[in-house]
Amino acid sequence: MEFDVTRSETPRQGFDAYRYRIWRKSRLVAMYWHDYRGDEHGIEFVDGRKEDWPVGRMTDFLKGGGPQPICLSDEAVAYLTRKNP
């Protein structure tokens, strides 16, 4: 896969947002976040561009979690490819 996602290593407190790093061929391209319930989510690209609700709901952007590894959905990969040609 062209893009990978990893959880941010910054510790979370209580109701803080969950944060993830998005990599393209081992180069950081964006930081993705969602609130603790998954209701709100957004992305900040390394060049400073920010967008709320990049693809539908949070569950439309990320897949996996729990015992499954976190990965990007097909919709998220298509979005990132459009935004980072």
Kindly give the confidence (pLDDT) of every residue in the chain, 85 residues in length, as a single tens digit, with 9 standing for 90 and above. Answer: 689 999 888 887 778 899 999 999 989 999 999 998 888 999 999 999 999 989 889 999 999 988 999 999 999 999 999 997 6
Find, among 79, 74, 59, 76, the residue nearest to 18 by Cα: 59
Find, among 9, 6, 46, the residue nearest to 29 by Cα: 46
pLDDT of 1 reads 60
pTM of the model: 0.88
Is there a contact between 53 and 42 (Cβ–Cβ < 8 Å)?
yes
pLDDT of 5 reads 95
